[in-house]
Amino acid sequence: MNKVACLRLLFLLCAPCVITACSGSDRFAPALRDAPPVDGRLFTALPSSYTGVDFENRLTETRELNVFTYRNFYNGGGVGLGDLNGDSLPDLVLTSNQNGNRLYLNRGDFRFREATEEAGVSGHGVWGTGVTLVDLNADGRLDIYVGYAGNEAGARRANELYLNQGVNDDGVPTFVERAAEWGIADEGYTTHSVFFDYDRDGDLDLYVLNNSFRPASSFGMRNIRHERNADGGHKLYRNEGRRFVDVSERAGIFGSEIGFGLGVAAADLNRDGWPDLYVSNDFFERDYLYLNNRDGTFREVLDQQSEELRRVIEEAGAPCWAPDEPSDGPCPVN
């Protein structure tokens, strides 16, 4: 190849890089310029080449790590939506099991740019599960709480709290991780979490929904609901001002290893002005319905054939109490 040909080839190879480098914020622009045409149906699927959201929760099975060695191998990651940079457009946080977290900033028109590294929310890389967006320190900026589980040692399952520091010069929100400092680097096998002000003192408290590592069959169907377990048990943390304290036991929250947590919702179910909890569990353990005693404790009433429970169920709508069955009926639990 002669010198001119070499220069032409070099230009062709470099040109896309130069164009990309010079285009400023458009360097993140998705490849597809126009949205697919609507086709008369209620929803139109937008490909990642248009949206820029190319996240995949891709799992790699090995001889040591698979659904036989880790029962929750296919339980999935998490997704959170909220405006993280204050431009009124909801942004997107996705957690994966084996490849860390991803943050996508909304550019409008259903287009996003990835800003995970710039934001500092990559995570410690293993077995991310549920993610919750919440303004925990009440500074007007949404923070991020990420749950972790997996066939991992305790410290590698520590949940993360990312506090929002505001946007940098590129409009990207930046975060610092403070879960240990705030006392909520929970090392249980977390499925998900919910923040709510159960004691109505004006700050958000935290319910961490954990699952168990042990096979359900290994418990022999024994009811050990009253035996607490640090890794598998659900937890209630009280917010004491930039520091959380585990108050599960004194608040009357079950924390056993058979509470294979699948879902949790906080709402005022009996309409007395105090937030209550509904927790769904897997396998042989039943669900929990906690009504708020208004004194820092809860009473669990799901197995009580009481007039109070009947009223709660009627007002909430029966479909809410069958979490394994799809329903489009009324449901005030959110």
- Give the binding site for Ca ion (CB under 5 A): 83, 85, 87, 89, 91, 106, 135, 137, 139, 141, 143, 164, 197, 199, 201, 203, 205, 239, 268, 270, 272, 274, 276, 292
- Residue 273: CB minimum distance to Ca ion, A: 7
Given a contact cutoff of 8 angstroms between Cβ atoms, the answer to whether 197 and 180 are in contact is no
**Residue number, 197 or 300, with CB nearest to Ca ion:** 197
**Residue number, 92 or 149, with CB nearest to Ca ion:** 92
Length of the chain (residues): 334
How far is 179 from 143, CA to CA, in rounded Å? 11
- Residue 89: CB minimum distance to Ca ion, A: 4
- Residue 165: CB minimum distance to Ca ion, A: 9
Output the DSSP codes for 114-141. E-HHHHT---SSS-EEEEEEE-TT-SSS
Q: Measuring CA to CA, which residue among 187, 192, 259 is closest to residue 227?
A: 259
The contacts of residue 228 (CB under 8 Å, 6+ apart) are 248, 249, 255, 256
Two tokens at 183? 């006392």
How far is 275 from 290, CA to CA, in rounded Å? 9
**Residue number, 83 or 118, with CB nearest to Ca ion:** 83
- Residue 291: CB minimum distance to Ca ion, A: 6
The contacts of residue 328 (CB under 8 Å, 6+ apart) are 319
**Residue number, 90 or 154, with CB nearest to Ca ion:** 90
**Residue number, 75 or 164, with CB nearest to Ca ion:** 164
Backbone torsions φ then ψ of 20, nearest 5 degrees: -65, -45
How far is 17 from 27, CA to CA, in rounded Å? 10
- Residue 81: CB minimum distance to Ca ion, A: 10
How far is 171 from 259, CA to CA, in rounded Å? 42
- Residue 125: CB minimum distance to Ca ion, A: 24
**Residue number, 76 or 203, with CB nearest to Ca ion:** 203
- Residue 142: CB minimum distance to Ca ion, A: 6
**Residue number, 91 or 231, with CB nearest to Ca ion:** 91
